[in-house]
Amino acid sequence: MRITQAEAWLVTMRLEEPYSVAYRYSDSTTNVFFRLETDQGVFGLGCVAPDPEVTGETAEQTLQTLQGVVLPLVKGEDPLRITKLLEAAKPHLLGAPAALGALDLALHDLIGKVAGLPLWRLLGGYRESIATSMTIGILPEAETVERALHWIERGFRILKIKGGHDWEIDIARIRRVREAVGNEITIRFDANQGYTPEAALKFAWAASAARVELMEQPVAKHKVEELALVNSRSPLPIMADESLTTLSQAKELALHRSVSLFNIKLTKVGGIHEAMKMLSLADSSKIGIMIGCMDEASAGISAGLHLALARPEVTLADLDGHIGLEGDPTAGSVRVENGFLFPSHEPGLGCGGIR
């Protein structure tokens, strides 16, 4: 089997519910789709959601990289030699994790189709479903509570609340939500780099009384020493997100005990092949693992879900980026039921071919 052709294209989707985080407002997302075709009629589909703040790439840059760099590298190659192709591509894709991830996911989708099995079974088959959190952006107190109750009514039992502008306003929102939802609902908090170490610790101690499960990326992504300081003094487990995009960063975070948890997103780390390395590192370092997401079409969410289902090292999931996307061409690739995600039973990532 040989790769005969590849194509990449952009899909912009509006968010049913626009939202704000510490560093931006979002009302739409542009995903990059990448399709590999072979001489035996089998194809593989990848989907990524580049973000300059996280991956260092725009969607347009990722598209150009896939068209101008990746296709010439893989055309004529055997797609079943995934490791060979990805390791050969990596030197050409430094600083372009979304482009590497698009190639990675297309190759994994393809090999699942060749095997006739959903990818989560090929990668380990550890579990059949996983609970996901539902994200609530930065809103006034009353609206935050309203959205929390809305998602609970729809069956979600885990909420991730965004903040990072003002720790006192954030903790007031958290307390109001806890009062409204009771003690059986899990609450997570994501500061998206918005706090100083001092503010992060003040929030953490107040939030622990409100039974917040964890705090994600409290300080700026490049200030790893501040992250370690907060982690060493916080009563809440601290999770790295924007600070974690490469294996070398994962090693540094683990070495210095900078965090207690990793948020691994396939778009930002370069796909499943690279993510599996991080899983092993985290597991050996006793660091917890969440599989997270960007604002992604169901195809991208499906890839994260298959990895989360496959491996016992993964215990948490934040895979809600497809919910409320208007015009998702791969809608239906995953199923949501009472806050749990279930994969398609189709081979590979179960996303079809689209186009």
Q: For residue 353, is pLDDT > 70?
A: no
- DSSP H helices in the chain: 59-65, 71-74, 82-89, 97-115, 119-122, 141-153, 167-181, 197-209, 224-233, 247-255, 266-269, 272-284, 298-310
- pLDDT tens digits, 73-128: 999 999 999 999 999 999 999 999 999 999 999 999 999 999 999 999 999 999 99
> Domain residues of the chain, as ranges?
3-116, 121-343
Residue 22, helix vs strand vs coil: coil
* Sign for the pseudo-dihedral over CA of 51, 269, 15, 162: negative
- Rounded to 10 degrees, the C-alpha dihedral 344/349/354/355 comes to 170
CA distances, 31 to each of 16, 99, 291 (Å): 16, 11, 19
CA distances, 250 to each of 112, 152, 217 (Å): 28, 34, 14
280 in Cβ contact with 247 (< 8 Å) = no
Position 302 scores a pLDDT of 98
Give me 123's structure tokens.
């990668």
- pLDDT tens digits, 170-185: 999 999 999 999 999 9
Give the confidence band of 24 by pLDDT, cuts at 50, 70, 90: confident
Q: Average pLDDT in the 126-151 region?
A: 97
d(CA 231, CA 74): 42
Position 355 scores a pLDDT of 59
320 in Cβ contact with 90 (< 8 Å) = no
Taking residue 128's Cβ as centre, other Cβ atoms within 10 Å add up to 11
Position 321 scores a pLDDT of 96
Task: Please report how the helices 167-181 and 197-209 are oriented relative to each other, as an axis angle in degrees rounded to 10.
Answer: 20
Q: Comparing C-alpha atoms, which of 130, 118, 120, 139 is closest to residue 19?
A: 139
Q: What one-letter code names the amino acid at 196?
A: T
Residue 293, helix vs strand vs coil: coil
Give the confidence band of 351 by pLDDT, cuts at 50, 70, 90: confident
Architecture of the domain spanning 3-116 = 2-Layer Sandwich (3.30)
% of residues, the chain, pLDDT over 90: 95
Architecture of the domain spanning 121-343 = Alpha-Beta Barrel (3.20)
- Looking at 120-224, which runs of residues are DSSP E strands? 130-131, 134-136, 158-162, 186-190, 212-216
- pLDDT tens digits, 194-250: 999 999 999 999 999 999 999 999 999 999 999 999 999 999 999 999 999 999 999
Across-strand partners of 12?
30
- pLDDT tens digits, 297-347: 999 999 999 999 999 999 999 999 999 999 999 999 999 999 999 999 999
Q: For residue 138, is pLDDT > 60?
A: yes
Q: Comparing C-alpha atoms, which of 50, 105, 125 is closest to residue 302?
A: 105
Look-up: residue for tokens 């055309």? 75
Q: Is 193 exposed, middle or buried (0-12, 13-18, 19+ CB in 10 A)?
A: buried
CA distances, 297 to each of 13, 263, 326 (Å): 8, 19, 9
293 in Cβ contact with 301 (< 8 Å) = yes
Q: For residue 25, is pLDDT > 90?
A: no
d(CA 129, CA 230): 33
341 in Cβ contact with 319 (< 8 Å) = yes
d(CA 56, CA 3): 28
Residue 87, helix vs strand vs coil: helix
DSSP code per residue over 224-245: HHHHHHHHHH-SS-EEESTT-S
Give the confidence band of 23 by pLDDT, cuts at 50, 70, 90: confident
